[in-house]
Structure 1
Amino acid sequence: MNENDQHLNPLAGMSPGEAFAHCLTDEGLAWLRSLLDSGRYALRAPEEAALLTVAWLLRDGDTRAAWELVEELLPSAGEVRFAPHPCDLPSPDAGAVHRRTVGEAAALLSRRKANPAVEAQREALAVWRPFEDELLVHRLRADAHSAPWRADGAALLTRYRSLAAAHTRCTRHLDPRSNASVLRRALEEDVAGRELPPREAGLVRRAVTAAAAKRGRNRQPDRPTHHELTALVLRRLSAFPSDRGVPDVEPLIAPVSVGEAGESGLPAGTAIPAPVVAVVAGTHDAQLGVLLSRGTIPSAEVLAEVAPQLLITHTAQGYADGSLRTLMAAMHRARRGNLYWWDAEQHARLTASPWVRALGHRNPDPRTTARAALRTLGELTLRYFPGAGLPNLLVLMLSRLAAPAELPVPFLAEPFADSYSGAVSKDLPMAARTAAELLHGTVYEPYYGIDYAEVRDLAIAQDPDGIAKLCAVRAGRAGRPLASDPAVIEQTKILTTFNLALLVRYGGVAPQAGWGSLARGAFTAATRPGATAKRSACAWRQLLFFLSLCRAEDQASVLAWIDAQAGRLPARSAARVALPLAGLRLAAA
């Protein structure tokens, strides 16, 4: 959009104060209402939502709240821009999230350098192979050694020197043993009028035979490099705002079009390389479940990076009016700072801003939205990554959500003890107690040989050191510190379920497909070819937890399914799970 077009952007060239005054005129308010309806605006800072909020309140009939907001904004109106920026594209859907913005994807692609080996090969095929063919054709001409033949030969030698100066990636033509070098040296002698020595004449005959045999091979259409196709994708990305995702990535990763072929010289129909597609796919702006099902979010670690956007979507979804949902989502996305490192205080400051307060009863309950975000995050993590433990970044995000959700428990993050002082985390007793109360009497307790009554007593006594000592004894590492011993850390995760019990008890996590479905997914992860011992152990621990929450009939069904699957495993995988599976059967008996 042309920013100077007064029809599209009536605020072009105005100072913040002039823009503020214009937006409060009939013409300005009509323009703001049109932006609310179309969603075609961008907020570069949260305060740019203020005048749109005024327009929304007036349209909703709340004149008093609207003008009270104007009065509150007025002292800063001369210095701070409270108006939005018109945009060609509508604002993202209020419920959409993305792995990376267009700008972040472009930065990743821009850092990719051309592969020197590939470029050298392309130069050999595009420059030096055709020149070698010209040398051969010239050598085989019927008028060899005539004056015109020598003149053409001199021109070939001149062009060789130009090519050698301009194309330096491929150096094969400098090899004195190559066919091209032999033919070129012979041509230099012929042009100078000197007769070739017998040995050199023999080399020329052999070079002609070899070059003629190869001529016509490897003449596939010249394929563009990844670097050239990346440049094309960067041009496509440049059409979108850099601070948001893209609702439809297919046009960005489609093969080279006929129009693009005419502009760039790239062959029409050429597919975009998979590594480039993977980067661009991360800009897809869609519901979190869609991104997970498509593999755009491939791991729990990546999900943790996207998690802060989840609270934005849940907060926005709490507004009844569609245009207000879009506005509030845009405002939250525009907040300054790194979105990945969201914290409750920052969120509280934003929701306490004058334009949010002016909405009054229309604002959703922050506790409800935080709890919904936490529950959704937990359920999606378990559904799509049932065999993966919760990564630390995700645990930290859950802990930050727990504060506005007013949950009485923090989530347990690594390290569980200070590496210098050895002081054990004060969060350990609550995590241990929750696991004890949830899993006492389930298959989890006998399988791992845990006395959850003892664990509960230690937790009630608020004795984190006692719990740490118990974990060390269970690991066969009595006296070893929780801070650094991997075996003791693993026993701590087993004892506490590493936040799974907290998610169920306080987060309200309940998978829609049932716990049996998650148990099957965890078994699949534990027996996946190539899974490391650490990952298999983690997946097996998750399997035991999910199985423990199944109803009796579901548990029996899952165990029968596991037995059937185990019988189909490759020998190495079957041997790896034979002992744990025997222990599972014994514990479930």
Structure 2
Amino acid sequence: MSSYPEGQWQRALDTASAHPDPATREQARDRAASWLGAIRGMLGGRIRTGSRTPVTDLPAWVTIEVLHGGFASGRALADQPLQPWELAFLRRHGLPRSRQAMFDQLIAHPEELDTPSHVALPEEAALPVLAWLLRAGDEASALSLLGQILPFSGRLRFAPEPIGTGQVPGPETAWRATAGEVRAALERRRPNERVETMRTTLRVWNPFADRMLELWLRACVDGRAGVPRDLDWNRDARALLEEYAQLAAKHPPSRRHAGPKANLTVLRTAAQDVLAGRPWRRGLVQTVVDDMVRRRGPGFAALRARQARDAAIPPHHLAAHALAARLAGFPQHTGLVSLPPIEEGTPPSITAVVRRAVAAPVEELIDSGLVPSAEVLARLAPRIAAQAVSAAYPDPGLRALIAGNYLAFRNRRSLLLTNLESQVRLEELPWVRAVEGHKHPGESRAAVGAALRRLGGLTLRTFPGTLIPNPMVRELRQLSREAWLELPWVEELAADIFDGRFVVKFLHAAQLAGELLFGTIYEWYYGIDYRAIGRIDEQDARISPRFATLCRERAGVTTAWGAPAQNGMVIEQAQILTTHNLATLVKVGVALDPDGASRCFAAARRLAARPLGLTTVKDIAYAWRQMMFHLALSDDVAGFVAALPSDGPLGPAVAGLRAAVRGEQVQPFTGWSTKRHWMLPPR
């Protein structure tokens, strides 16, 4: 067994026992239980790490809990305790508290599934699909589906949660977070101790210190602190001291007002001494009074008024909780067509959380600044892909079911796989296979192709110089299948678990790139022989040894696999040869931005202006590589390169590119290295 799960388990235990936040401790306890289940499963042989069916008693289509690093905990996510809505269903029908009883009831009365619902897990689409098949008269497919899910009917939840009616966003919209997710995030907001201390100072202790100063000013004669002999003074002093004790118990003062040398401490202690008949430090009191009076200039009253207004602003956590309460009346499983009222003066940090639930077309979300990265864009992509994929089903009810199932399936976390195994595909789900005969792919090809080009264009134009995230690659691949396009979409590989092999699609991606880039500055700059790559014939192979050998030779790595840095160098060469899906995007008709090369160089320059580390250098190298791709397809390579600035950290790379344009062979700019990279400062 790997030591990694043990380390994760121990870290979760440490957090569960020592973290100051109760909610964090509770989450850590759950995480520790999951890791313990994974460890026991691996030791007992129930869990096979690296397999696409890691839990021996569950088929591949079951959605299992996947922990950090891709490890399976052994628990099916649909095998949770009965949910509140399930318990309500069972009570309503007078049934025993069991999932089997609910399953049997819905099989006997499938019409009960004909209500609006939210598919949170793919398994929850199974019974609604079965009910649809029965209505459509396809009893053979319904019985086949029933036979596959029946063995798990007492264990897994195969029905979705019904949802109430309300204003639901249209299918063409997307959102970063649902109303329920935003509501939970707002409810988790807690007081900021430093901010609350400042508010207490402004609201309580500054005004109290002013009143204590006014008390002592009454004892001054000709500006000098005298011995207070006024009975009214004594009465007011006692009242202030009693008030101090009450306030301190309710609002503990900071050291600014309670420290041993604080002005308030000096005046308060002196008042106590006077009332007790003890000697008091007249000189120190005089110094403090003089200092406090000197600080109160002409604008002092306005300062205190402004501080009072600042202190009256509701704390951030209270504003968050108030907004969370308003969100309770909205549908919780979707984004929001319109946001709840937000009062003027609500902190921007709170408003930003609420705006994550805005439902709008992806392009509008991008224009509004709600999509800050390619990773966030990739999380929105399934909404676009789901509508395109489900368009192949003519029946509106089935189309909605398939779209909901698609989105739920995309929430499955990827497993750690070995031996080049692939993740479970959408079409492997029994309920998706069951309705395959009711699909009319030809009717959706236009929608799927448009979605494919839309996502590809958004990826390249919105975040130039950024590696295409694996979740986006997954959506592009699925859309290609739906459009009957066999295209070699390639993922970013992890250097720490790379075993030195490439599946054959990497070779096919490089050959496709060669069709586009043969004879261009890209081929020359990176020293590629695309003609030779095109002659490699491994069409019927699962893996491509010759492509792996080529990548190792280009990286200068002699072993099949090794340390992460060596693996990273090999993987980077594969990205160079394949263009990491850029050529494939052009193949499907994505139009490149005319300013793409300039925008990629600008991205590389922005990155180079940051404090440089290995991760940043790798990001710069990718932006540079994407710039070279755009440049290869432009009409004025020499003019573009001549106009590049020669100063700054990218100066040596620019010089090398100019030499390549002159026809010289150069060392291309890459990010991975087993030595200290030339962009990094000396140690």
For the criterion TM > 0.5, the same-fold answer is yes
C-alpha separation in 2, matches of 1:159 and 1:303:
57
Residue aligning to 1:263: none
Residue aligning to 1:272: 347
Residue aligning to 1:8: none
1:427-470 superposed Cα distances (whole Å, 9 cap, x missing partner) = 33222222223322233222322211222233558784443343
Residue aligning to 1:291: 365
1:303-339 superposed Cα distances (whole Å, 9 cap, x missing partner) = 2233333321213455678787666645655x47835
The aligned amino acid for 1:179 is N
1:452 paired with 2:534, answer no
Q: 1:186 aligns with which of 270, 273, 284?
A: 270
C-alpha separation in 2, matches of 1:587 and 1:272:
57
1:586 paired with 2:662, answer yes
What are the residue-to-residue correspondences of 1:342-421 with 2, within 5 Å? 344-345=425-426, 348-352=429-433, 360=438, 373-399=451-477, 406-415=484-493, 419=497
Residue aligning to 1:437: 515
Q: Is the 8 A contact 1:48 1:82 kept in 2?
A: yes
C-alpha separation in 1, matches of 2:333 and 2:136:
34
C-alpha separation in 2, matches of 1:422 and 1:84:
45
Residue 361 to residue 301, structure 1, CA distance change in 2 (3 Å): closer
What SS does structure 2 have at the residue aligned with 1:427?
helix
- TM-score w.r.t. the length of structure 2 is 0.64
Residue aligning to 2:584: 502
Residue aligning to 2:216: 139
C-alpha separation in 2, matches of 1:459 and 1:51:
45
Residue 481 to residue 175, structure 1, CA distance change in 2 (3 Å): same
What SS does structure 1 have at the residue aligned with 2:371?
coil
1:471 paired with 2:551, answer yes
Q: 2:182 aligns with which of 84, 87, 105?
A: 105
Residue aligning to 1:129: 206
C-alpha separation in 1, matches of 2:353 and 2:654:
40
1:537 paired with 2:621, answer yes
What SS does structure 2 have at the residue aligned with 1:240?
coil
What SS does structure 2 have at the residue aligned with 1:134?
helix
C-alpha separation in 1, matches of 2:498 and 2:274:
81
C-alpha separation in 2, matches of 1:107 and 1:305:
19
C-alpha separation in 2, matches of 1:394 and 1:401:
11
Residue aligning to 1:148: 232
Residue 448 to residue 344, structure 1, CA distance change in 2 (3 Å): same
Percent sequence identity is: 31
Residue aligning to 1:60: none
1:237 paired with 2:330, answer no
The aligned amino acid for 1:270 is G
The aligned amino acid for 2:573 is Q
Residue aligning to 1:4: none
Mean Cα displacement is larger for which, 293-302 or 212-221? Answer: 212-221
1:338 paired with 2:411, answer yes
Residue 419 to residue 583, structure 1, CA distance change in 2 (3 Å): same
Residue 279 to residue 577, structure 1, CA distance change in 2 (3 Å): farther
1:142-195 superposed Cα distances (whole Å, 9 cap, x missing partner) = 896422331222121111111111223623222122211111112112322445
C-alpha separation in 1, matches of 2:145 and 2:650:
69
Residue 403 to residue 545, structure 1, CA distance change in 2 (3 Å): same
What SS does structure 2 have at the residue aligned with 1:542?
helix
Q: Is the 8 A contact 2:501 2:548 kept in 1?
A: no
What SS does structure 1 have at the residue aligned with 2:594?
helix
Q: Is the 8 A contact 2:110 2:131 kept in 1?
A: no
What are the residue-to-residue correspondences of 1:141-290 with 2, within 5 Å? 141=218, 145-168=229-252, 170-194=254-278, 196-203=280-287, 205-206=289-290, 209-210=293-294, 212=296, 215-216=300-301, 217-220=303-306, 221-222=309-310, 223-249=313-339, 251=340, 254=342, 256=343, 269-273=344-348, 275-290=349-364
C-alpha separation in 1, matches of 2:210 and 2:496:
71
- TM-score w.r.t. the length of structure 1 is 0.73
C-alpha separation in 1, matches of 2:190 and 2:265:
31
Residue 474 to residue 112, structure 1, CA distance change in 2 (3 Å): same
The aligned amino acid for 1:437 is E
1:488 paired with 2:578, answer no
The aligned amino acid for 1:575 is G
1:523 paired with 2:604, answer no
What SS does structure 1 have at the residue aligned with 2:631?
helix
How far apart are residue 573 of structure 1 and its match?
Answer: 6.6
Residue aligning to 2:125: 46
The aligned amino acid for 1:246 is L
Q: How many residues matched?
A: 529
Unaligned runs of 5+ residues in structure 2 are 1-89, 95-101, 221-227, 415-422, 611-615, 665-683
Residue 51 to residue 400, structure 1, CA distance change in 2 (3 Å): closer
What SS does structure 2 have at the residue aligned with 1:527?
helix
C-alpha separation in 1, matches of 2:444 and 2:160:
26
C-alpha separation in 1, matches of 2:657 and 2:409:
51
C-alpha separation in 2, matches of 1:409 and 1:69:
31
Mean Cα displacement is larger for which, 527-536 or 382-391? Answer: 527-536
How far apart are residue 515 of structure 1 and its match?
Answer: 4.9
1:208-251 superposed Cα distances (whole Å, 9 cap, x missing partner) = 535655953354112444333322332333332332211234x4
C-alpha separation in 2, matches of 1:425 and 1:545:
23
RMSD of Structure 2 on Structure 1 (CA): 4.6
How far apart are residue 107 of structure 1 and its match?
Answer: 3.5
Q: Is the 8 A contact 1:344 1:404 kept in 2?
A: no
